[in-house]
């Protein structure tokens, strides 16, 4: 790492739940905490809801599906990924509006290893951690026998789009943003990007 600290990538555990909740909210551009707020009961914070969901062993957002980047004992990044072997069983129009484009695009990701979330804390960006996490996720997909990776991103998030393009992802489909609760994502599209898994590369 360029700042002199050692960075390692490992499988997440339930003890990482707080970090995972924070990082998926970063990756989701504020939608996760917005959704958690609608689920919170008296005395619960949105982070409490996110942590409880991260501790599950089922569902997409689970520590069991996550890799974390750790530096000097602190979790600074996350890659959350899993296989999509069948289209969603819910009608996107029955879901909260901000997530409908993601579920619609998920139907076009069947047969891929899906990168649900990739995030790096702001204090640790610019040192290649996102690229390292993508490489580790690709190794996971390779080991599971998948030949394509998929990821979704807001087109306005130009830094993330550049990262994914550099890693070999190409545009496969797009869907219009629906009522995003956070700026600057009121308009534009969510992009579905897909890349072939490099069968000869190892992390």
Per-residue pLDDT of the chain (203 residues; tens, 9 = 90+): 444 558 999 999 999 999 999 999 999 988 899 889 888 888 889 999 999 999 999 989 999 999 999 999 999 999 999 999 999 888 877 888 888 899 999 999 999 999 999 999 999 998 899 999 999 999 999 999 999 999 999 998 999 999 999 999 999 999 998 877 776 677 789 999 999 998 776 54
Each domain of the chain, given as residue ranges in start order, spans 7-196
pLDDT of residue 16: 98
pLDDT of residue 1: 45
pLDDT of residue 29: 87
Provide the 3-class DSSP secondary structure of residue 66.
Answer: strand
CATH tag, 7-196: 3.40.630.30
Helices and strands, number each (H, E), in the chain: 6, 7
Q: What are the residues whose beta carbons fall under 8 Å from the beta carbon of 184, sequence distance 6 or more?
A: 156
pLDDT of residue 42: 80
pLDDT of residue 150: 98
pLDDT of residue 119: 96
Residue whose token pair is 């992802």: 169
- Measured at the CA of 120, the angle between CA 114 and CA 125, to 5 degrees, comes to 130
- Measured at the CA of 138, the angle between CA 163 and CA 169, to 5 degrees, comes to 40
Please state, as a whole number, how many other Cβ atoms lie within 10 Å of the Cβ of residue 18.
14
Please report which helix (H) or strand (E) contains residue 190, including its range: strand 189-196
pLDDT of residue 94: 84
- Sign of the Cα pseudo-torsion (41, 185, 179, 80, in order): negative
Task: Please give the sequence-ordered ranges of beta strands (E in DSSP) within 72-143, or none if there are none.
Answer: 74-84, 112-120
């Amino acid at each position: 790492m360029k700042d002199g600290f050692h960075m390692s990538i490992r499988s997440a555990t339930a003890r990482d739940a707080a970090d995972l909740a924070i990082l998926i909210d970063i990756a989701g551009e504020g939608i996760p905490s917005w959704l958690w707020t609608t689920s919170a009961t008296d005395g619960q914070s949105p982070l409490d809801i996110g942590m409880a969901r991260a501790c599950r062993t089922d569902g997409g957002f689970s520590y069991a599906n996550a890799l974390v980047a750790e530096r000097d004992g602190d979790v600074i990044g996350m890659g959350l990924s899993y296989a999509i072997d069948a289209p969603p069983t819910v009608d996107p129009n029955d879901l909260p509006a901000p997530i409908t484009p993601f579920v619609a695009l998920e139907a076009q990701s069947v047969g891929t290893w899906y990168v649900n979330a990739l995030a790096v804390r702001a204090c640790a960006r610019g040192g290649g951690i996102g690229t390292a996490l993508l490489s580790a996720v690709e190794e996971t997909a390779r080991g599971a026998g998948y030949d394509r990776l998929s990821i979704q991103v807001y087109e306005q998030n130009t830094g993330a789009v550049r990262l994914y393009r550099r890693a070999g992802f190409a545009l496969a489909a797009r869907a219009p943003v629906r009522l995003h609760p956070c700026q600057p994502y009121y308009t534009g599209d969510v992009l579905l990007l897909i890349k072939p898994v490099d069968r000869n590369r190892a992390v």
